[in-house]
Chain A
Amino acid sequence: MVPLLAAVLVLSWAAAVCAAEDVDTERDPLECVNRKIFWFNDKLDVYVLAPVATGWEKVSPRRVRTSVSNFFGNLRFPIVTVNDLLQGKVKDSASDVGRFAVNTTVGVLGFFDPASGWGLVKHDEDFGQTLGVWGVPPGPYLVLPLLGPSDPRDATGFAVDYALSVTPFFIDEAILWGARVGDTVNERSFVLKQVEDAKASAFDYYTFVRNAYLQRRRALVRDLVEGSAEESEELYHPEFDLEEKP
């Protein structure tokens, strides 16, 4: 359990360095600790993950990487389907069962995605979103060692999804970890340029990522309920709108 050990070490280091709490901005009372972990994750990305992903991108055509991504995406079928159901999206869950059936057979073990072409659209659901749909508040923003941006709700969701994805398959632990690493490297290879651009253009990369994460999760949870009017009011009609333009 090297990753777990690393995670605990980073956490305790960050907690030791950060004694005082910062001002609460954007749901981030633990900003000081979070920034330390973020820094650590970023270094890990810059020196290990990104270089490996760059190498993988160089040696494998996009088609191959897409197939790998399809394969792992297909294995997420129990997670997506169960969470569809838990959120009351019965139609979506039926479509996701259909996707799994089609892509596992016609799509050769999930390496290809003919289902999308047949109108069975891929859904993105996880237990963190389910908790959100059930009305569980997200809690403070957290950056987890190795896993990145999260919050207590999404971290809980991650643990539940993890249990859901492992238990049905009686596969050796080492193979599972290998597969997870492979999946991560492969997914990273799709966004090499995007991450580079984001870093170059961001004024504060930490704030950039935090805001993007919070916005995206909020929107994903709300795909059932349309966006809160209050938030959109705050974003697009802040009070100065009542004043005259100069």
Chain B
Amino acid sequence: MNRRRRTLAVVALASCLAGGALAGESPRAIVEKMSRAAVDILGDKSLSSDEKRHRVEDLAYANVDFETMSRLVLARLWSQLSPAQQTEFVKLFREHLALTYGRNIESYNNEKVQVVSDHDEGRGDWTVKTKILRGGGSADVLVDYRLRQENDAWRIIDIVIERVSLVANFRSQFQEIVNSGGPAKLLDVLREKNAKGEPLKS
């Protein structure tokens, strides 16, 4: 028991040190590290699906700026939400993404991720282009990450899959809901949708 606790302490310390080294890391290095970690988790046969889901979620929470993402998704509509609604929206939207992408965990089939290139987008944004390798050619899936720097750390604010931006796509869907029923309807719809998906197991 004692020994185990000591091990835990060492691991915690090591991850603190690793966390310290994170500051100032380039967007490309962050995406590379994140992709490698994701592939390691998904390919780990000793983990159950639930454990994988949790670890991937933690990885996403550490690297994605869900608040900025939520603001971008709602754009002008953001200010129509009260502060309490805004907080709830961020939480519900994050949950929705976790449910959506969580569905894919079981279909992982040893795909590897290759970071292709990265470039400055100006105004504090950076894009890192990656490819999920599935046999080459059109079978590969193009995934671009857009990162924004805040307090010396780069975090993901949009994911562009096969040239389709997640932020833009949700924006157009949410626009219609808010237009027809206001912010309250949007939160209702999100809540309902999340309840219908698999419940988040803890």
Q: Which residues of A are interface residues toward B (Cβ below 8 A)? A: 25-26, 66, 69-70, 73, 113, 116-117, 122, 124, 190, 193, 197, 200-204, 207-208, 210-212, 215-216, 219-220, 232, 235-240, 246
- Select the residue from A116, A117, A193, A236 with max chain B CB neighbours within 10 A: A236
B157–A212 CB distance below 8 A: no
Give a binary string over B175-202; 1 marks a CB under 8 Å from any A CB, 0 the rest: 1110000000000010001000100000
**Which chain B positions have C-beta within 8 A of A215?**
163-165, 168-169
User: Which B residues lie within 8 Å of A238 (CB)?
Assistant: 72, 75-76
Interface contact B173-A202, CB-CB below 8 Å: yes
Q: Is B17 in the interface zone, CB < 8 Å from A? A: no
CB within 8 Å of A: which of B12-37?
none
Known interface pairs A69-B138, A215-B169; 11 further A-B residue pairs with C-beta atoms within 8 A, sorted by A's residue number: A66-B139, A113-B136, A113-B137, A197-B103, A211-B164, A216-B164, A219-B163, A236-B167, A238-B72, A238-B76, A240-B71
Interchain residue pairs with CB less than 8 A apart (9): A26-B172, A113-B137, A124-B138, A203-B193, A208-B169, A210-B172, A211-B169, A216-B163, A240-B71
Asked whether A201 lies within 8 Å of B100 as measured between CB atoms, the reply is yes
User: Per a CB cutoff under 8 Å, which of B107, B158, B164, B173 touches A193?
Assistant: B107
Please name the residue on chain B nearest to A122 by beta carbon: B137
A70 CA / B96 CA spacing, docked (Å)? 36
The chain B residues found within 8 Å of chain A, CB to CB, are: 71-72, 75-76, 78-79, 83, 86, 96, 99-100, 103-104, 107, 121, 123, 125, 135-139, 146, 157-158, 162-165, 167-169, 171-177, 189, 193, 197
Q: How far is the CB of B179 from chain A (nearest CB, A)?
A: 8
- Closest chain A residue to B71 by CB distance? A240
Residue from B83, B157, B164, B189 within 8 A of A236 (CB atoms)? B157
Cross-chain contact B123 with A237 (CB below 8 angstroms): yes
Give A113 to B165 CA distance when docked, in angstroms: 30
- CB-based nearest B residue for A234: B75
Partner of B137, one of A116, A193, A203, A204: A116
CB neighbours (8 Å) of B193 from chain A are 203
Do A200 and B103 contact each other (CB < 8 Å), given the known contacts A116-B137, A215-B168, A236-B157? yes
